Amino acid sequence: MRGLFIFFVDNNFFWSKRTRRLKYILLTDKIMEYLQREKIKAHLIELPNESLLKIVQLDINGLPYLAFGAFETYHKNILEQKLIEMQLPYKIVELPSSERGPELEGERYSVVGMGICQRHENKIDLIGNSTDYKIKINKEHFQRCIPYIKDSDSFVFRFG
C-alpha cells in the first residue's frame, strides 16, 4: 500500500494523509493490541543505573515520560534538557523560588511531578520534591509510566 499514511485521532477514527479526510473504522481487539504494543516499543523508558538521581515527570503529546539527571543538577536544567531533546518549544519564566526556568506547561507538554529517585538494586524509591517549582513526585503519573519501563516487572517501586 504505497503512499498510505494514517494518523489515529482516537480508537476508531483516523486521519488519512492521502485523502485528507477523517475516516471511521472499527478496530478489532487484535489490531488495538498490536497498536498498543507498537506504541510501547516506540516509547520505552530505561531506568538509569545510578543510585541517586533527580527526576522530572512529564506528559508529552499525551504519553508519560521520565527525565533523569545527576543529583547535583537542578530540576529546571533536567526539564530544559528534555524539552530540547524532544524539540519542544518552551518559555522561560520566573519560578516560585524566584529563579528562572522553563514553564511547567507548554504547547505539547505538561510537567506533573519532580523529586528524587533512589535505586537500591531492584528497589526504586521515589521521594521528595523540587524546591524551585514547589511540586513533588506524582505517584499516579509514575504508575502510568510502568508499562513503558523496560523490565518493569523486575523492580519494586516505592513512594515516600
**Alpha-carbon distance 112 to 116, whole Å?**
14
**Alpha-carbon distance 144 to 84, whole Å?**
23
- Domains of the chain (ranges; CATH) run 6-42 (no CATH), 52-159 (3.50.20.20)
Across the chain, which has 160 residues, the per-10-residue mean pLDDT values are 45 56 59 61 80 95 92 96 93 93 95 96 94 95 90 89
Give the 3-state DSSP-derived string for 43-109, with helices as H, strands as E and coil as C: CCECCCCCCEEEEEEEEECCEEEEEEEECCCCHHHHHHHHHHHCCCCCCEEECCCCCEEECCECCCE
The answer to whether 66 and 54 are in contact (CB under 8 A) is: no
Please report where in the chains the cell 515520560 appears, as a residue. 65
Amino acid at 19: T
**Alpha-carbon distance 152 to 35, whole Å?**
20
